[in-house]
Amino acid sequence: MTSAVEFQSVSRHFGSTRAVDEVDLAIAEGAFFAMLGPSGSGKTTCLRLISGFEKPTGGVIRIFGQDVSVVPPNRRNVNTVFQDYALFPHMTVRDNVAYGLMVKGVDRRVRLERAEEMLDLVKLPGFGDRRPGQLSGGQRQRVALARALVNEPRVLLLDEPLGALDLKLREAMQDELKALQKRLGITFVFVTHDQHEALSMADSLAVFNEGRIAQIGTPEDIYARPQTRFVADFVGSSNVLPPEVTRAFGGPAAWASLRPEALRVVAADGVALSGTVTALRYLGAGSRVTVALAGAEVAALVPTGQAVPEVGAMVGLAFDPAALHVMGGAG
């Protein structure tokens, strides 16, 4: 089966900086794929390489089997939704959505009809005569999405499009984007630095670090079975245990990951693992309790409604051994 997007040993260098460094990647047709990583990790550069706004220093980029490594952006069947939306303030919403069709020379009546169809699709019927300045942030995001979809791209690229929205609206738009992708069946490639966004929306994702892919897999694989210390710490802020501490937790002398929610805070009496509470953080759904053990500090999540120990208290820690994920010597 042909991949929607494929990278073969793709690099992009800016002088001595390797923004993307020998990346291999295959994105399945019809997938909701996320590129996750901190600032400067290479994820946005990869998105720009797919769109054609950047050219690779080396390697091959294919879209549905076609080598597009040197093909200009306007000849690739992809469209991009940006974080700042990039709407034309002097145009109506309808004309903003229809702009791409106008550039292609589509008849005015046809393109305006298509624009109205897209506005219906993104739940903005009747907004065509407004200007972008008359819309909320969430509404402008929907207009940008409609403008990108009106050209019927086979791949839709989304560059942190929800980053400017407040938390409640961002979560609502996550659900809407996921539902829209399922309805349309086209490939979405979504760039974000927000781990919760990537885990909740994507069918599969790649975690980037220093220009390379640290791990690729389903959200469940990435979260529960991180392959490297970086992935364990970045995705979900796991307890990354050095070999000597892993051994104290009953595992082999190897690097391991143990999620805070897998640890239970119990009375210290008769418990092999015990230590002193050094910090508390209230998180709404629970409290994050930091416990100093011999050789390490670990965090446990105490659900709301359960007793939370005070800073300075001696506590024990218990967990299901199956929750300890050994990573070996991975970096």
Q: Which domain holds residue 138?
A: 5-228
Mark whether 153 and 300 lie in a shared domain.
Answer: no
- When divided into structural domains, the chain yields a total of 2
CA 139, 132, 110, 53 dihedral sign is negative
More confident residue, 91 or 164: 91
Q: Does one domain contain both 178 and 117?
A: yes
Is there a single domain that holds both residue 82 and residue 220? Answer: yes
Same-domain status, 149 and 260: no
Same domain, 132 and 250: no
Domain ends where: 195, 228, 261?
A: 228
pLDDT band at 1 (very low <50, low <70, confident <90, very high): low
Mean pLDDT value across the chain:
92
What's 54's domain CATH number? Answer: 3.40.50.300
pLDDT band at 176 (very low <50, low <70, confident <90, very high): confident
Region 163-190: what's the mean pLDDT?
Answer: 86
* Segment 11-39, tens digit of pLDDT: 999 999 999 999 999 999 999 999 999 99
Pairing type for strands 17-27 and 5-14 reads antiparallel
For residue 132, the model assigns a pLDDT of 92
Residues 212-255 have pLDDT tens digits of: 999 999 999 999 999 999 999 999 889 999 999 999 899 999 99
Q: Is the pLDDT of residue 286 over 70?
A: yes
* Residue 276: CATH number of its domain: 2.40.50.140
Whole-angstrom Cα distance, residue 154 to residue 185? 9
Whether residue 165 is found in the same domain as residue 265: no
**Assigned token pair, 186:** 């086209």
Q: Are 178 and 292 part of one and the same domain?
A: no
Task: Using pLDDT thresholds of 50, 70 and 90, give the confidence band for residue 165.
Answer: confident
Segment 83-90 long-range contacts (CB within 8 Å, at least 24 positions apart): 83/159, 83/160, 83/161, 83/163, 83/164, 84/164, 85/132, 85/140, 85/141, 85/143, 85/144, 85/161, 86/144, 87/132, 87/140, 87/143, 87/144, 87/147, 88/132, 89/131, 89/132, 89/133, 90/131
